[in-house]
Copies of this chain bind each other. A is one copy, B any other.
Amino acid sequence: MQVHELPTPSLLVDVQAFDRNVATMAKRWPGLKLRPHVKAFKSTALAARLAEAGHRAFCCATVREMLGMAAAGLGDDLLLANESLELGRLTPVVERGVARITVAVDSEETIEAAAKARVPEVLIDVNVGLPRCGCDPPDAGRLADAARAKGMTVRGVMGYEGHLMREPGDTKADLVERSMGMLLVAAEAVGGDVVSGGGTGTWDTNTWITELQAGSYCLMDTEYTPHAGDFENALFVNTTVISRSAKWGVLDAGLKAFGMDHGDPKVLDVGDCWFVSDEHLTFGVADGVEVAVGNRVRVVPAHVDPTVSQHERLHLVDGDDVREVWDVDLRGW
């Protein structure tokens, strides 16, 4: 199969860029030092590539991602790095012993849900400054005791400094140090040997954790690139020009093909994005550019995770060759 034969819209992954991203990350965070976050790409086939590169422990954001990874034989060490009260679906996986299951907890209710689902191991999720999940740091020790009292093993802590990913380089290091300082104090109170955190935006800043939770680095997007310059865009939406007027053209990919929370995607080569509709992207044709109905145009998403999750498959491409087709098989909940 050749790229120009693929239907559009379709997702393309440039194999050279992808391989470089994986190699760059693996050099700094080799093997189990990296716990790749499946939410960024939602594909067991892509995850299998990372496992081949030595990363056999993964983060998930949903129960379905956990189930899919276990079913695909990628269950050496799966962390649900998120709170859930619907953990009963994990019980059969735990009971069959086909995967090592750990979940994050940050409250008595989530500890109770984990115990009820017979999840054997937990991390205490600690708030390190991002107003989202995670307990107050001084409460971490008490929650660890509560989990142990219910018979669970507490492997350590996790804390996500997501509010710092886009800080400028010179202040990022200071802020991450302060944030991780909170996590290390909590880790002391909790016990265990895992201190899990970080992401693509702090991959070269965060030196306090025992394992990095990064996922975006594999494929990247226009929003993240300025904050993690060692990685490059490997993901493109492959589109066709379906209409052409004097000043603009229209591509056959729209709101259902792009995550839009970080703004418009970037049209390559032919002009600038004017606006995005349900199934269209209208672009202003750049001066001197020839573009006709039927031409193929590549577009770089602004946000990788909610872009990939809208598609059924990723096509690993090398020039015009489609090398592999990876199902986006971890969508939904």
A175 at the interface (CB under 8 A from B): no
Q: Shortest distance in angstroms between A258's beta carbon and chain B's nearest beta carbon? A: 9
A233 at the interface (CB under 8 A from B): no
* Smallest CB gap from A257: residue in B: B333
Q: Which residues of B have CB within 8 Å of A109? A: 292-294
* Smallest CB gap from A63: residue in B: B7
A256, B107: Cβ atoms closer than 8 Å:
no
Q: Shortest distance in angstroms between A135's beta carbon and chain B's nearest beta carbon? A: 8
Complex Cα gap A8–B85 (Å): 10
A196 at the interface (CB under 8 A from B): no
A242, B84: Cβ atoms closer than 8 Å:
yes
Question: Contacts A277-B162, A305-B255: A250 and B132 contacting too (C-beta < 8 A)?
Answer: yes
Q: Which residues of B have CB within 8 Å of A292? A: 109
B7, A133: Cβ atoms closer than 8 Å:
no
Q: Residue-by-residue, is A64-93 near B (CB-CB < 8 Å gives 1, otherwise 0)?
A: 000000000000000000111110000000
Q: Which residues of B have CB within 8 Å of A110? A: 242-243, 293
A132, B282: Cβ atoms closer than 8 Å:
yes
Which stretch, A144-152, A186-194, A306-314, touches the partner chain B? A306-314
Q: Shortest distance in angstroms between A325's beta carbon and chain B's nearest beta carbon? A: 14
Question: Contacts A83-B243, A259-B260, A332-B312: A250 and B280 contacting too (C-beta < 8 A)?
Answer: no
Q: Which residues of B have CB within 8 Å of A136? A: 245-246
* Smallest CB gap from A113: residue in B: B294
CB under 8 Å from chain B, chain A span 234-286: 240, 242-248, 250, 252, 255-256, 259-261, 274, 276-280, 282
B261, A255: Cβ atoms closer than 8 Å:
yes
A155 at the interface (CB under 8 A from B): no
Q: Which residues of B have CB within 8 Å of A261? A: 255, 260, 276
A26 at the interface (CB under 8 A from B): no
Other contacts beyond A110-B293, A131-B274, A132-B280: 19, CB < 8 A: A8-B86, A8-B333, A39-B279, A83-B250, A84-B252, A85-B293, A106-B243, A107-B244, A109-B294, A127-B245, A131-B248, A132-B250, A255-B259, A255-B303, A256-B331, A260-B260, A260-B261, A278-B306, A309-B310
